[in-house]
Amino acid sequence: MSLLNGKTALIFGVANERSIAWGITRAFHEHGATLGLSYAGEMLERRVKSLAQTIDCNFVEPCDVSSDEAIQALADKTAAAFGQVDILVHSIGFANREELSGPYYRTSREGFRVAMDISVYSFTALARAFQPLLRPGGALLTLTYYGSEKVAPGYNVMGVAKAALEASVRYLAYDLGPQGVRVNAISAGPIRTLAAAGVARFKDMYRHFNKLAPLQQHVGIEDVGSMAVALCSDLSKRVTGEVVYVDSGYNIVGVPEPPECE
């Protein structure tokens, strides 16, 4: 099946082969999309370029999403390389490590600003800069986590950021709908990635997950990749403004069984 034949996708957030963005990239490649990758900065260049080679992707460009100039420069390069774009994937999140442990009330003003800027505003900034390039029938996608709705101890300011990101999805969906562009989010279960390693209590979230989720299975980047294909292809052409869970059903459980003592 080639659900993305003829579509051009720009994917932000590949850091290594464990990145959710890489799972999405591979799935898009399997479904025939023309791909461009954008990574955060110099330190990641070699790794991301060598991953891109494995899927014959030649458009691999840096972009620090905290800079409007960098985003605009990338939009200009994208327009020169592809003309228009059908799909943008934002798989980016960041908070300073010290904000991701201990009580939430210790969040600093600067820590709050950084988390909101990079994990939330950057999605709106990308929508703003790329809006003129988006082809009707296109789709924007971002990644969120259940800590936006319920307390996940230690997730702290990232939970608050994800709540704002999910609200952004709805506002962007409303704005871009008349242009024929859809905007959705995937709320993924815990996956062992670089970003996850920064959350002090991640190990606990991960360890008990497959005992508590109805499907009793961990989530992999390939599971997120296949849902991303569905949400960015014409299979879901009347779906916008939604947060779709790829979490083995974890979010539906109101009263989890306490894990057995080990």
| Residues tagged active-site | 145, 155
Tell me if 193 contacts ligand NAD by CB under 6 A: yes
Of 179 and 251, CB closest to ligand NAD: 251
Q: In what order do the strands lie in the sheet with 243-246?
A: 59-62, 34-39, 8-12, 85-90, 134-144, 182-188, 243-246
Q: Which of 73, 196, 230, 239 binds ligand NAD (CB under 6 A)?
A: 196
Count of C-beta atoms within a 10 Å radius of residue 188: 24
Of 179 and 210, CB closest to ligand NAD: 210
Write the DSSP string, 133-201.
GEEEEEEEEEEE-GGGTS--TTTTHHHHHHHHHHHHHHHHHHHHGGGT-EEEEEEEPP---HHHHTSTT
Supply 38's token pair: 């954008």
Q: Which of 33, 100, 195, 228 binds ligand NAD (CB under 6 A)?
A: 195
Q: Are 234 and 3 in contact (CB under 8 A)?
A: yes
Choose one: 85-93, 105-113, 209-217, 227-235; the region binding ligand NAD (CB under 6 A).
85-93
Burial of 6 per CB tally in 10 Å (0-12, 13-18, 19+): exposed
Choose one: 63-71, 101-109, 228-236, 248-256; the region binding ligand NAD (CB under 6 A).
63-71
Q: Which of 95, 143, 152, 160 binds ligand NAD (CB under 6 A)?
A: 143
Tell me if 248 contacts ligand NAD by CB under 6 A: no
Bridge partners of residue 88, in order along the sequence: 10, 140
Among 234, 237, 213, 211, which residue's Cα sits nearest to residue 223?
213
Tell me if 118 contacts ligand NAD by CB under 6 A: yes
**Residue 194: CB minimum distance to ligand NAD, A:** 3
Count of C-beta atoms within a 10 Å radius of residue 51: 22
Tell me if 111 contacts ligand NAD by CB under 6 A: no
Q: Which of 167, 194, 215, 235 binds ligand NAD (CB under 6 A)?
A: 194
Site for ligand NAD in 3-22 (CB under 6 A): 13-15, 19-21
Chain residues that interact with ligand NAD, rule: CB under 6 A: 13-15, 19-21, 40, 44, 64-66, 91-94, 118, 143-145, 188, 190-191, 193-196
